[in-house]
Amino acid sequence: MQANDRPRTFHLTVAYDGTEYCGWQVQPEQRSIQSELERVIRPLAGRPVRVLGSGRTDAGVHAIGQVARCVLPVWKADTVALQRAINSKLPNDIRVKAVRETRERFHPIADATGKQYQYLVQVGGSRDPFANRFVNRVGGPIDHSAMQSAAAKFVGRHDFKAFQGTGAERPSTVRTIHSARWIPRVATGPTGAELEGEHWCFEIDGEGFLYNMVRNLIGTMLEVGRGKRPLEWIDDVLASGDRKLAGPTAPPQGLFLCRVDYPDEVFQLEEPDVAE
């Protein structure tokens, strides 16, 4: 087989506003991010193509740096041309930010070494109609020192079974969290005017996350920050492994998948076999 006749595997960095979608994963009779990408890539491949994501995001959850893989049986142009071809047919709330060619055996889930999520919270102030899709507005007051201490409880290697949502159980619920912190932010509307209330971003980096884990952590930390639970309660929840003892699941609209990490070897292409 000639080098230019080989199927090529691509790493797509995808951003989207998840408000109008049922989530990442294909669902019958519903719009999903995955189905939109597959619809657009199919004519480029000349046949149906499965676009595999680094993980599924729920309805209403957004992404700045979701990663997806697609394999094209024949694509002779470069990655920039592929990015343009895909983006030209996507709806306005989905965009491929970058395309890189990878090794044939690249797997966006198995090869991932880490992820970063962010969750946006507005404390008090009136609801802004333009931020409503992207921020979880909660009543105050909030003890920010308690929130930071609560976030620190999750750093390290722990069993997060108590924070796993039902419906996507994993064989192991042990995960390592590298960092977790609340960051104050200045939020502005479309005209540049500063929005009312206090605005915070929760940023968490880890080797991987369970289904609904970040939103369940948020709901639990807010219980502490609003004085409904003591800080030590988090230790009890972690030790229990019981989802019913943790805080409520925070709404999806504040959550963003920001980054998925991979080793450099993923992008070191194998030398193709050259026909004699």
pLDDT at 191: 86
Give dist(CA 85, CA 73) in Å, integer: 16
* Separation of CA 91 from chain center: 19
pLDDT at 1: 40
Bridge pairing between strands 62-72 and 255-261: parallel
Active-site position among 17, 58, 128, 205? 58
- Residues belonging to the binding site for substrate are 117
Block means of pLDDT (10 residues each) for the chain, 276 residues, are: 73 98 95 97 94 94 98 93 98 98 96 98 92 92 96 98 85 96 93 91 97 97 97 97 96 97 92 52
pLDDT at 272: 56
> What's the CATH number for 3-111?
3.30.70.580
- Residues belonging to the binding site are 117
pLDDT at 271: 62
| Residue listed under structure tokens 């609209």 | 253
DSSP string of 204-242, one letter each residue:
EEES---TTHHHHHHHHHHHHHTTSS-TTHHHHHHHHT-
pLDDT at 276: 43
- Phi, psi at 156, each rounded to 5°: 110, -170
Q: What is the pTM of this model?
A: 0.93
Please give the torsion angle defined by the CA atoms of residues 237, 238, 239 and 241, in that order, rounded to the nearest 10 degrees.
80
pLDDT at 2: 44
Q: Which residues of 229-254 are buried (b: 16+ CB within 10 A; e: fewer)?
A: bebebbeebbeeeebeebbebbbbbb
Q: Which residues contact 232 (CB under 8 A, 6 or more apart)?
A: none
- Phi, psi at 84, each rounded to 5°: -65, -40
pLDDT at 273: 54
Q: Give the fold, CATH level 3, of 114-258.
A: Alpha-Beta Plaits (3.30.70)
Residue ranges per structural domain of the chain: 3-111, 114-258
| DSSP state at residue 246 | S
273 is a catalytic site residue: no
